[in-house]
């Protein structure tokens, strides 16, 4: 399945919506889009992985590096990942101990009252 990446800004966060198969090529596209957003001054990010069917080990490594970059710039990365194959991978690898993982965008916005105000 082809990888699709879209971006929107909401409540001071850059939200990347990912769909399809996140393999090496898709991870490179995500990294480039992330770097462009950082260069334009964005520091808070949400990666919506709900539309993903498959995630590669390279893509996981890329997401961890993006989180590190955001934190280095005093920002954040949060992940949205509902039930399914990708969630199973995140659960087994305990990604939630490194990057906050939420089941939905609503759960993410609800996690911080300041986010609901935007």
- The domain that contains 49 carries what CATH number? 3.30.750.24
Q: Which domain holds residue 48?
A: 4-98
Distance CA 43, CA 56 (A): 25
For the chain, what percent of residues have pLDDT higher than 70?
Answer: 95
The stretch 61-78 carries a mean pLDDT of 95
Q: How many helices (H) and strands (E) does the chain have?
A: 5, 5
Asked if residue 30 is part of any domain, the answer here is: yes
Q: In this predicted structure, what is the pLDDT of residue 114?
A: 66
CA torsion through residues 16, 18, 23, 29, sign: negative
Query: Model-level pTM greater than 0.85?
Result: yes
Q: Does the pLDDT at position 96 exceed 50?
A: yes
**What domain count does the chain have?**
1
Model confidence at 15, pLDDT cuts 50, 70, 90, reads very high
The stretch 20-42 carries a mean pLDDT of 96
């Amino acid at each position: 399945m082809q990888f699709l990446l879209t971006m929107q800004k909401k409540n001071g966060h850059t939200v990347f919506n990912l769909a399809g198969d996140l393999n090496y090529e898709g991870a490179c596209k995500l990294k480039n889009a992330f770097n462009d957003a950082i260069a334009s001054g964005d520091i808070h990010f949400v990666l919506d992985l709900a539309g993903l069917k498959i995630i590669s080990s390279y893509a996981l490594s890329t997401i961890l590096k993006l989180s590190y970059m955001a934190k280095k710039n005093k920002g954040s990365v949060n992940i949205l990942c509902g039930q399914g194959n990708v969630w199973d991978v995140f659960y087994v690898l305990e990604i939630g101990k490194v990057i906050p993982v939420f089941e939905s965008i609503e759960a993410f916005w609800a996690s911080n009252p300041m986010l609901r105000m935007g």
